[in-house]
Structure 1
Amino acid sequence: MKFMKTKLLFILLLANFSIYAQSSDIPDYIPSDGLLAYYPFNGNANDISGNGSHGIAVDVEQTQDRFGQRRSAYYFNGTSSNIEADVKNYPLKGGSRTITGWFQADIPYVSEELDFCLLNYGNVSDPNYWFKISFYRKGYLDIQFDSKTFQSQDDYFNNEWTFFAMVFNDETNTFSLYINNQLKLSGSADLYTNGFGNLFRIGKNKSNNYFEGSIDDIGIWNRVLTSQEITAIYNAPKPILYTLIPDLNFENKLIELGFDEGIPDGKILKENIQYEPFLNVSSSNISDLTGIEDFKDLRYLDCTNNNLTTINLTKNDSLRDLDCSNNKISLLNLEKNLKLQYLLISDNKITDLNLTKNDSIESISAHRNLLTTLNLSKSKKLHSLYISFNKLSTLDISENTLLEILDVSSNNLTSLNLKNGNNLLLGNSVNFTENPNLSCIQVDDAEYSNTNWATFKDATATYNTNCTVEYITLKDSHFEQKLIDLGIDTDGLNGKISSSDISAVTSLDLSNSNITDLSGIENFTSLTNLDCSNNQITNLNLSYNLLLERLIAFSNQITSLDLSKNSKLTIVYVVSNPLIFLNLQNGNNTNMIILNVTGKNVASYATSFLGLNQLACIKVDNAAFSNTNWSKIKETSTTYSTSCSLGIEDSVFDKVTLYPNPTKDEVTIANISLEKATVYNTLGQLVKSFNLNSGDSNNTISLSDLPKGVYYVYLINKDDATVKKVIIE
């Protein structure tokens, strides 16, 4: 019962639906009693016993078996080919066992070894745990049990398929080796293979003595097979294998083509189809191509004009030409079809097509599908692409330098990159029309494309050598006009500027331009020198201008300025601003060029904070350094500190509160000892000043005589300072 369940389960899972004449996954002549593993090598190294002891194949090649069936055995190259399997429940403590199989060997001409291992089980470093069957250089067969070796001095390098069966009887501690069903060697031996796990090696031993030749049908049992069972294995006839063909119309077509005969019965002889290179089943009302996977040598398949919704071609790795147009296919997996050259899939419902592994593809015709993306970066040999009437939004063929024909009409393209360095090869075999959202087509030469391809695009699209334009918003028209005057903005006054126009700008003089808003300046990332003096700027964000060395921003309305990210700054000239906050803690204070102090100011400007009467605290790298070296470039009311406020909205005074806020009259400042509080309007103008009792942690200030609006209360206590926003109703 267990065996029957295993058979049924295997049949359900078997990918290629091949069956033996008796509908069994394991041939009838293979005893199931005690079977640990069976490797038929029919295209893989899987164990079909149901125990799951699958082998890992390295550098082996499929070859024909003793019956002449291709892809039904493995060839081992003598230098690296091998298969290793973790055989479950293998006897470890001298248990009885039988190993059978077939080999074909000739005089080795690749390997120069003296020993060629057929199979091995054990630890080469310990002769007490060792078993192998191998061949000596002269073609002799050796069988080794631990440290004891037995040899058959027949020449097995005869290029003939040879059957072997090794039987070990644990009860008598004897072995028997049968060659072609004849007893060849026997004797007393120990087979104590404990202590090294269950690893079974085919085609090599642990010393890397590799076998050169072909191997097939390896079986392992945990008991002694009878002579009758061994004879049955040896005399097994050529297996009759069938492939299931569940679609009646498919089988009728195969009968018509001569691959099958008689009345349709849902199956076909595998040997009739497995080596066939060409198959045309077009216009046959087929809905299911199950069975196509056993056309192992299929190179050309035409299944056009059918009712297919899916097709499994993962086993057809020789396929070069595929035409499945005019079906209902929605998903097509071609990742295993690495030799595919010509693909015709028009008039289907395909939504996704992965061709990243199909680097041999030369021509694609995929009109009238539902494709939204298509990656052709690996398809270097592509010379023709027909893909109209899809849903593509982007297409990049910049890697397809051999392209001669391109039709991408009637898609949803917003981006099309044709800049492959070989547009001349396309000639006039192009069509980009009916893509209403496509405004720019990237090409090698815009002049050539405009001359030769003018009618192959929509009127709203243009040809350009660079379509990857990113725009920066400019809120202030005076700022943009100045950039236009400087020749930086090249597309007119439109509230934006392309990133390509500003990427290389290193110096910018915006002085005397009536600018109030410098939003967008943060995108000038190459900027080293900025002069924005004599404007009406209230806010200046330079946190992304990391290369900035020189800032001239005097005579503006800036109230807060954070330069902590500008670690290359040497000159900061911001006098004549209502500054109440300045953060210069950028790690580069020692390299600043200071007005009339260091002797470095060879330039027309140098760093100075003189005249900034509302600036109570400047945040610096080191207060002691600044007090020593910068004492003469600030007002006496201004202090240097490492802990000034980071900004108008931030506070280093964790517990301070102002209430009520909003207010109509008084404001209480609680949980902080203060010496002074100053109030500024949004223009940075000082409107009130209060001297407070530093011994009291709660102080009240009156704002009743101020008009409604937003104000900033600057809280000062020794070298520390912060700002709080207050709203007066």
Structure 2
Amino acid sequence: MKTIITLFTAVLLSQALSAQTTLIPDANFEQQLIYLGYDSGTPNGSVPTASIDTVTSLHISGSNISDLTGIEDFIALTELNCGYNSLTNLDVSNNPALTDLRCDNNTLTSLDVSNNTVLFVLICTENPLTSLDVSGATALTRMFCYDNQLTSLDVSNNTALTFLFCYDNQLTSLDVSNNPALTSLRCDNNTITSLDVSNNTALTGLYCYNNQLTSLDVSNNPALTSMFCYDNQLTSLDVSNNPALTSLKCDNNTLTSLDVSNNTALTYLWCYNNQLTSLDVSGATSLQYLKCYNNQLTSLDVSNNPALTSLYCNDNQLTSLDVSANANLRTLYCSNNLLTSLDFSSNNAFGELDCSNNQLSCLNIKNLPLILWGGNDPFPNPPLPSPFPYPNTYNLSGNPNLTCIEVSDITWATSYFTVAKGNIDATASFSTDCNNPCSSATTGMAEHEIIGKTAEHSLSLNLYPNPVTSSLVVETRYPLQLAIYNVQGKLMVDRAISSTYTMNLSELARGIYFLTATDEQGKVYSQKVVKE
């Protein structure tokens, strides 16, 4: 009899265990579990616990779920993606095996992952979080908590952190001194007043722009490759110990001097809208893009920057500018300075030039390409239609002392530069040889004519980089139809664009191609593109 009772008890216990269920009050949550095969039939408010307690990965994003009650019985869960739902609360305290949690784009106001000690990845972006506790998540390596309403963030226990993206919050301070493994830090768009990164020696990317920083010491960050610290209140910046730096954006501060002579790898430098009286780029031999406009510079030496393709030095106090060593220069804005002469005889890659509002009396633009947009090796000039359709990318106006401009083609010059367009002054004239340019300009002569025609519209278009390895950026403000042909005339790419667009040319073989851009008036512009 005792044996029979024991067997009967075991059967009852087995049936009870097999009948154990987990409450799932959210019908959309249960429906997803049915889709995934963890439940059957139609939602009835519960699922068999035995069908979910061994599940390791659960992806239920974008399912209009507002309640995740029942998640506590997913005790083996290592990955949970519940982003893009309508969750107001999330309790993962009973999911100790979690290594990857993604709960972004919900309406969570608080999140506690202190019990998730093996959590590696946390993505809780774009919620209205005001509180985030990661103190127990000591294994955390990547945390993305941007676009919330956090006023404080404690990451002192997260010593393994490599990525921390906490931008677009309301942080007034941030302590990363206990995060020595940090390689990328984005804390931009907060109200942080001080930031100490001296212990973050592995840091390669620092983005702390649009805060209230008055100082920033990066002397202990030799691995830095990108630093965006613009829109702060910095009065000085020393990057001499950052030899790996390729991109530096420090504009809109109150810097008075900047020395990047030790930054030989620097490619992009934006330092405009400061109070710079001194800028040393002599050692930045890889520099391609330099924007230093709206400062107080009286001199600028770019003779050691042969890779330079874009230079914006307008709105300074420059009295001279030598770009003879910058054969790759495509874009130059040097307007609103005190320049008296400019010689572009060594520059045949120009696509955009604005030297207006200076004190120029002599100007040599003999080698400017007549196809008026970016790139090297301009195509031969097509016949001049009337009215002249080419884009207005050159501006020489605001130089009343400029009486003779040296050009290679007077017909082209007088068609392109007109008072009506506003890209030249009425006193200006053209010659193929300005032997005495500042005093002997005479109108009405075959080689020396005052300009005066109109154009249909103004279009600015620029391409870079060229030569290109994979991605070709096309900058424009107008709708265009782009086409790329190989040397046999076969169409390789056909794309309509209306704004700046990045073309993926990685699939094209190495060689020479021809890009055409057709505007809304049916006018066609052409450019050779070299694929490396």
- Superposition TM-score tier, normalisation by shorter sequence: 0.3 to 0.5
More strand by share: 1
Give 1 or 2 for the bigger CA radius of gyration.
Answer: 1
The normalised TM-score by structure 1 is: 0.35
Tell me: higher relative CO, structure 1 or 2? Use CA pairs within 8 A at least 6 residues apart: 1
Give TM-score, length-normalised by structure 2: 0.44
